[in-house]
C-alpha cells in the first residue's frame, strides 16, 4: 500500500494530466457528432478484431470435437459411394423378379466402419495398430483398413469385444497384393523393416513400364480390399540382377506417423468366398 501512495505521489502530475486528457476526449466525442461517429467506427473495428482473434482461439480448443464429427460424416459419405454397391451377376440367369427399385441395400458389398487409433508403432519390424472398436461394434478378423484419405493401412488380425489389433503395412509378415495403376502388373508388398513409410513391391517383370512417381493400388485379387484403392507412389525402380523382375520402392500414401482415425472395410461377400475356397482346397487334397 505504501508503494502505491509513493507511486501516485511521484507521478501525480502525469496521472492528473492523463485524467484530464481522457476527460477532454470524452467531452469532444460526446458532444461532437463527427468525432462521435469516428470514435464509434474505430471502436467497432477494434472490437471486431478482438472478437475475431478470440473466436480463433476458441475454435482451436474445439478442434477435437470438430474432427470427431468430420470422421463420422466421412463414414456416412463412404457408405453412399457408388463403388460400394454391387449388383449380382445375371449373365447365366435372369433375375427380373428380384431387382429392387427403391433400395440397393441387399446388393451392398462394402461397408465402412470408423475406428479410433489408440496405439500405433512404426519403428519395429513387426508394427501393429490398436483400435478402440471390436466384435461388439461389428469388427472382424481379416478386415482391410484405410485412413481418412482412403489409403491402405493394414489388415485386422485379432479382435476382442471392444478392441482390435491391425497388422500394419509396416510389418515383416504383411504381404498384400498390389499393382501398378498404369500398366496393371501385379506384385506383392514387402517391408524390409528399415525405413518407415517406404515399402517394396516385388514380382513386377522388367518388361513393365514403370517410372518414379507412378501410382500403386490394390489389385482386387482378394476379399480384403476393393480394387483400385491407393497404396503409394513409386520412389525408386531397381532391376534385380538374379531375376527378370524389378524391385520397386514406394512411399505409402498413408502417413503412419500421424494416424488418428481409420476405416475398417466390411466385405459382405467375404465369408461366402472364403468358405468356397476352403471347400475347394479340401476337395483338392
Condensed to tens digits (0 to 9), the pLDDT of residues 172-201 reads: 999 999 999 999 999 999 998 888 899 999
Please state whether 138 falls in left (phi above 0), alpha (psi between -120 and 50) or beta.
left
Distance CA 143, CA 186 (A): 21
φ, ψ of residue 164 to 5 degrees: the values are: -145, 145
**Bigger pLDDT: 69 vs 30:** 69
Partners of 171 in the β-ladder: 126
Condensed to tens digits (0 to 9), the pLDDT of residues 65-92 reads: 778 888 888 888 888 777 777 666 554 4
Residue 129, pLDDT score: 95
- pLDDT-derived band at 97 (thresholds 50, 70, 90) equals very low
**What are the structural domains, with CATH classification, of the chain?**
2-59 (no CATH), 115-278 (2.40.10.340)
- Reduced to 3 states, what is the DSSP secondary structure of residue 220? coil
Element of type H or E holding 266: strand 261-267
Cα 133–Cα 135–Cα 138 angle in degrees, nearest 5: 80
pTM attached to this predicted model = 0.69
Specify whether the CB–CB gap between 148 and 74 falls below 8 A.
Answer: yes
Tracing cell 485379387 back to the chain, one arrives at: 221
The gap from C-alpha 32 to its chain's centroid, in whole angstroms, comes to 59
**How many residues appear in the chain?**
285
Condensed to tens digits (0 to 9), the pLDDT of residues 197-219 reads: 999 999 999 999 999 999 999 99
- Reduced to 3 states, what is the DSSP secondary structure of residue 172? coil
Amino acid at each position: 500500500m505504501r508503494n502505491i501512495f509513493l507511486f501516485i505521489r511521484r507521478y501525480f502530475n502525469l496521472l492528473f494530466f492523463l485524467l484530464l486528457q481522457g476527460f477532454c476526449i470524452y467531452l469532444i466525442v460526446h458532444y461532437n457528432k463527427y468525432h462521435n461517429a469516428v470514435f464509434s467506427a474505430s471502436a467497432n473495428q477494434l472490437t471486431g478484431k478482438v472478437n475475431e482473434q478470440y473466436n480463433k482461439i476458441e475454435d482451436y480448443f474445439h478442434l477435437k470435437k470438430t474432427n470427431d464429427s468430420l470422421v463420422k460424416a466421412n463414414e456416412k459419405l463412404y457408405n453412399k459411394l457408388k463403388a460400394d454397391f454391387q449388383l449380382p451377376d445375371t449373365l447365366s440367369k435372369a433375375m427380373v423378379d428380384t431387382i429392387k427399385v427403391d433400395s440397393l441395400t441387399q446388393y451392398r458389398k462394402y461397408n465402412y466402419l470408423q475406428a479410433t487409433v489408440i496405439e500405433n508403432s512404426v519403428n519395429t519390424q513387426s508394427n501393429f495398430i490398436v483400435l478402440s472398436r471390436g466384435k461388439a461394434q461389428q469388427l472382424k478378423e481379416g478386415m482391410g483398413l484405410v485412413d481418412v484419405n482412403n489409403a491402405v493401412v493394414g489388415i485386422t488380425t485379432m479382435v476382442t469385444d471392444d478392441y482390435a489389433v491391425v497388422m500394419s503395412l509396416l510389418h515383416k509378415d504383411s504381404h498384400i497384393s498390389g499393382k501398378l495403376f498404369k500398366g496393371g502388373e501385379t506384385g506383392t508388398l514387402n517391408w524390409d523393416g528399415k525405413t518407415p513409410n517406404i515399402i517394396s513391391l516385388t514380382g513386377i517383370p522388367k518388361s513393365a513400364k514403370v517410372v518414379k512417381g507412378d501410382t500403386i493400388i490394390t489389385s482386387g485379387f482378394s476379399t480384403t480390399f476393393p480394387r483400385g484403392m491407393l497404396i503409394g507412389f513409386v520412389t525408386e525402380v531397381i532391376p534385380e540382377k538374379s531375376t527378370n523382375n524389378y524391385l520397386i520402392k514406394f512411399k505409402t500414401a498413408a502417413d503412419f506417423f500421424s494416424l488418428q482415425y481409420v476405416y475398417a472395410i466390411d466385405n459382405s461377400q467375404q465369408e461366402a468366398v472364403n468358405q468356397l475356397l476352403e471347400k475347394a482346397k479340401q476337395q483338392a487334397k
